[in-house]
């Protein structure tokens, strides 16, 4: 039997292709019809209604939470279209989605359809990584790691919030990228901040490991991550940049809890911020094991995080439920009259800029006063 080659698994005929919700007609009619059915179809239809309400609420900022292998599975353009059409104002994500998947594809690489019924030892010998039923080239991932190190090496040596580094990644792709259809670059151009609370848990982590290792050997200062600053920055957005918020949470994990917790963090800072006004979670997780990903939004209300008036859990796998909801709400057209919030403009490097009236109340000048790192 001839020895397998990498091209047997990774070739142009097996590319994962990204769903384009802007080119699919009548998704709204389908999802609306589901509202008169039952079970998760009805829940999904109500979730679409809630998302549409959040977009039409002029005082509401919408935060998209991402976990799971969404981009590698073909949902990159769904996320990018939400960014480009002012349907999301901030993103909180796992590191893999941002770096190993979206940024990775922006460098010119791809993901490939495969099967879970494969010889994984053979894949390992060929430097092919498997994500359930699709593949990624490990050699190309190493290039992604090296690119992250290059970006990090070029930064001023100080602590950074993840949103700062991800903005640098977007700028890098705008100038040097091979593909320009990803949400990291789109968010950079649309001034949508992206937060990754566990940023070291992805290819960025390998980039940081190499950067810090070399700095330690040379006895030089280094770039570090400030995860607490991420939390503070997102809390400031809740406190000062339009207090009503809507959450669209794809899967669960750290992004879900991190984003819900800003209500409590604002309270810790002495600010009476309202609970998240709108909340949707798409998940397959079960609440009965007590883990975070499956905890219901009703449970979150007991912690003072989510208002129960407009909340909906949808139990279904995200590659099915997310495009349906995003496509249906896109078709309804709320984005056409919705202006982008450009929340990144509230930051200048490491600093958050208070609204002028808040600065005046704090005894500062009428000009925006930065909160220094």
Among candidate residues 281, 354, 277, the one with its CA nearest the CA of residue 309: 277
Q: Cα–Cα–Cα angle for 91, 99, 184, nearest 5°?
A: 45
Instruction: Calculate mean pLDDT across residues 194-199.
Output: 96
Q: What is the pLDDT of residues 322-350, one digit of tens each?
A: 999 999 999 999 999 999 999 999 999 99
Q: State the fold for domain 23-371.
A: Deoxyhypusine Synthase (3.40.910)
The residue with greater pLDDT, 367 or 299, is 299
**Nearest-angstrom CA–CA distance, 259 and 44:** 22
Measured distance between the N- and C-terminal CA atoms of the chain, rounded to whole angstroms: 61
**Nearest-angstrom CA–CA distance, 150 and 250:** 31
pLDDT at 331: 97
pLDDT at 356: 62
At which residue do the structure tokens 């009965």 appear? 288
Show Cβ contacts of residue 175 under 8 Å, excluding neighbours closer than 6 positions: none
pLDDT at 372: 40
Query: For the chain, what is the HEC assignment?
Result: CCCCCHHHHCCHHHECCCCCHHHCCCHHHHHHHHCCCCHHHHHHHHHHHHHHHHHHCCCEEEEEEECCCCHHHHHHHHHHHHHHCCCCCEEEECHHHHHHHHHHHHCCCCCEECCCCCCHHHHHHCCEEEECCEEEEHHHHHHHHHHHHHHHHCCCCCEECHHHHHHHHHHHHHHHCCCCCCHHHHHHHHCCCEECCCCCCCHHHHHHHHHHHHHHHHCCCCCEECHHHHHHHHHHHHHHCCCEEEEEEECCHHHHHHHHCHHHHHHHCCCCCCCEEEEEEEECCCHHHCCCCCCCHHHHHHCCCEEEEEEEEEECCHHHHHHHHHHHHHHHCHHHHCCCCCHHHHEECCEEECCHHHHHHCCCCCCCCEECC
Is the pLDDT confidence value at 363 over 70?
no
Instruction: Supply 118's token pair.
Output: 């494969």
Q: What is the pLDDT of residues 136-192, one digit of tens each?
A: 999 999 999 999 999 999 999 999 999 999 999 999 999 999 999 999 999 999 999
pTM tops 0.85: yes
Sheet hosting strand 112-113, strand order edge to edge: 112-113, 134-137, 128-131
**Nearest-angstrom CA–CA distance, 305 and 160:** 27
Q: What is the pLDDT of residues 78-118, one digit of tens each?
A: 999 999 999 999 999 999 999 999 999 999 999 999 999 99
Instruction: Calculate mean pLDDT across residues 111-131.
Output: 97
Q: For the chain, how many residues are written?
A: 373
Q: What is the pLDDT of residues 282-325, one digit of tens each?
A: 999 999 888 888 999 888 999 999 999 999 999 999 999 999 99
Please report, for the chain, the start and end positions of each structural domain, with discontinuous segments joined by +. Answer: 23-371
Residues noted as catalytic: 305
Residues 137 and 6 sit within 8 Å (Cβ to Cβ) = yes
pLDDT at 368: 38
**Nearest-angstrom CA–CA distance, 358 and 206:** 40
């Amino acid at each position: 039997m001839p020895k397998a080659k990498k091209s047997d698994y990774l070739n142009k005929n097996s590319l994962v292709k990204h769903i384009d919700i802007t080119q699919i007609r009548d998704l709204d009619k389908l999802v609306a019809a589901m509202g008169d059915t039952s079970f998760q179809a009805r829940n999904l239809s109500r979730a679409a209604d809630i998302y549409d309400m959040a977009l039409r609420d002029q005082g509401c900022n919408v935060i998209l939470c991402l976990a799971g292998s969404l981009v590698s599975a073909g949902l990159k353009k769904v996320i990018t279209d939400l960014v480009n059409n002012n349907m999301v104002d901030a993103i909180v994500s796992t590191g893999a989605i941002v770096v190993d998947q979206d940024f990775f594809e922006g460098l010119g690489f791809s993901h490939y359809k495969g099967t879970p019924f494969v010889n994984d030892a053979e894949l390992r010998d060929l430097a092919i990584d498997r994500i359930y039923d699709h593949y990624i080239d490990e050699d190309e991932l190493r290039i992604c790691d090296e690119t992250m190190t290059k970006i990090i090496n070029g930064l001023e040596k100080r602590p950074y919030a993840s949103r700062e580094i991800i903005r640098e990644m977007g700028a890098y792709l705008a100038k040097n990228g091979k593909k320009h259809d990803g949400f990291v670059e789109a968010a950079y151009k649309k001034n949508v901040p992206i937060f990754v609370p566990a940023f070291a848990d992805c290819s960025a982590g390998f980039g940081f490991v190499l950067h810090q290792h070399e700095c330690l050997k040379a006895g030089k200062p280094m770039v570090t991550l400030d995860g607490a600053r991420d939390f503070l920055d997102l809390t400031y957005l809740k406190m000062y940049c339009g207090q009503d918020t809507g959450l669209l949470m794809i899967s669960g994990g750290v992004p879900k809890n991190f984003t819900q917790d800003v209500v409590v963090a604002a309270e810790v800072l002495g600010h009476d911020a309202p609970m998240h006004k709108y909340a949707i979670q798409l998940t397959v997780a079960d609440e009965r094991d007590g883990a975070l990903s499956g905890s219901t939004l009703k449970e979150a209300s007991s912690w003072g995080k989510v208002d129960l008036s407009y909340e909906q859990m949808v139990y279904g796998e995200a590659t099915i439920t997310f495009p349906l909801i995003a496509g249906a709400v896109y078709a309804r057209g709320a984005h056409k009259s919705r202006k982008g919030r450009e929340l990144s403009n509230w930051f200048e490097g490491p600093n958050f800029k208070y609204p002028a009236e808040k600065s005046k109340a704090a005894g500062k000048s009428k000009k925006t006063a930065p909160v220094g790192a």
